[in-house]
Amino acid sequence: MWIYEKKLQYPAKVGRANLRMAKYLITQYGGPDGELAASMRYLTQRYTMPTGQAKAILTDIGTEELAHLEIIATLVYKLMDRATVGEIEAAGLGAYYADHDKALYLVNGEGVPWTAAYIQSKGDPVADLHEDMAAEEKARATYEWLINLSDDPDLNDTLKFLRQREIVHFQRFGEALQIVQEYMDSKRIY
Amino acid sequence: MNRDQVAALKELMAQEFTALEFHLYLDTHPTDQRALMEYNEACRQLMVLKQRYQQCFGPLTFCETSGYPWQWIEEPWPWQISY
């Protein structure tokens, strides 16, 4: 089960309303390398992990990704807050506005809705953990491209925190992979 | 939300992050006794901060006692706060 805490994991700050960055940032909400995909990937794969360590790390990182999803939502919400319809249209978000007003929705930067096809759950723990490590690196790269696109130091502070978490998760998944491989080798009898 | 509450909330967030980092590390290093001690200490400090915060500002999570009227619905929610 899960229990909500009425707080963010990290203070999500924006220096000013910025629809251009909102348009780019939404991909970390509902895009291929975004936080929902990360959370669902790990929380779905955990059931067939062979060791306690791997079950724990997928559960805990999958849960942390939900906290990151909330940070991204907060950033997008704040970046769009108080924008006029004219400003929304000028930023290329007119089609988004027609469907959602300023509400959050699970899409990538081009408006494509989230799909389970972004993730895999192979049942092979070595294959799944390799996917998870790649996913963390792709998310890290996405945050770097977003930081390159942004000139808002407050927003960048939050994005740098999220980028750093991807690096820590990659490290933990690598350790879990090694533990799982050692476990599987110890089970193999010739 | 006044400055004192934002400062208390940020202190709590930082302490919980410390505990989380040890938690994830221990998942793959379960026999690291020093990390385990630091984790336990971080959790003890977090519990103190959480209790103090909730006494002053209301419940942060499920099953915390509430004053009257029901405090859970009080704003701001996390995405409405200027940090």
- CATH code, domain carrying A132: 1.20.1260.10
Question: Chain A residues with CB inside 8 Å of B27's CB?
Answer: 53, 56-57, 60, 172, 176
d(CA A49, CA A124): 8
- Is A106 at the interface with chain B, CB within 8 A? no
Q: Which residues sit opposite A5 in a β-bridge?
A: B61
The token pair at A76 is 């997008």
Task: Supply the pLDDT for residue A188.
Answer: 76
Q: Do B10 and A175 touch (CB under 8 A)?
A: no
The gap from C-alpha B55 to its chain's centroid, in whole angstroms, comes to: 13
Number of domains in chain A: 1
The gap from C-alpha B50 to its chain's centroid, in whole angstroms, comes to: 5
Q: A61 in a domain, yes or no?
A: yes
The gap from C-alpha B60 to its chain's centroid, in whole angstroms, comes to: 8
Please write the tens of the pLDDT for every residue from B8-31.
999 999 999 999 999 999 999 999
As to burial, measured by CB atoms within 10 angstroms (0-12 exposed, 13-18 middle, 19+ buried), residue B83 is: middle
The token pair at B16 is 């919980």
- Is A57 at the interface with chain B, CB within 8 A? yes
Residues of chain A with pLDDT under 70: 189-190
Task: Supply the pLDDT for residue A187.
Answer: 85
User: Taking the alpha carbons of A113, A118, A123, A125 in that order, is the dihedral positive or negative?
Assistant: negative
Task: Supply the pLDDT for residue A189.
Answer: 67
Task: Supply the pLDDT for residue A43.
Answer: 98
Task: Supply the pLDDT for residue A82.
Answer: 87
Residue range of the domain that includes A55: 19-114+122-187
Helical pair A52-80 and B3-28, crossing angle rounded to 10 deg: 150
Cα A88 to Cα A50, B56, B64: the distances in Å are 49, 40, 41
- Is B46 at the interface with chain A, CB within 8 A? no
d(CA A121, CA A40): 10
Which of A3, A5, A46, A60 has the highest number of chain B CBs within 10 A, making it the mutation to test binding with B?
A5
Q: A145 in a domain, yes or no?
A: yes
- Is A176 at the interface with chain B, CB within 8 A? yes
Q: Do A11 and B61 touch (CB under 8 A)?
A: no
Cα A166 to Cα A137, A171, B20, B81, B82: the distances in Å are 7, 9, 14, 25, 25
- Determine contact, residues A77/A18, Cβ cutoff 8 Å: no
- Is B57 at the interface with chain A, CB within 8 A? no
Q: How many pairs of residues across A and B have Cβ atoms under 8 Å apart? A: 65
Q: Do A60 and B79 touch (CB under 8 A)?
A: no
Please tell me which of the candidates A4, A77, A176 has its beta carbon nearest to residue B79.
A77
Q: A102 in a domain, yes or no?
A: yes
Q: Do B78 and A8 touch (CB under 8 A)?
A: yes
Q: Do B83 and A56 touch (CB under 8 A)?
A: no
Task: Supply the pLDDT for residue A190.
Answer: 65
| Nearest-Cα residue of chain B relative to residue A2 | B62
d(CA A96, CA A104): 10
pTM above 0.90, yes or no: yes
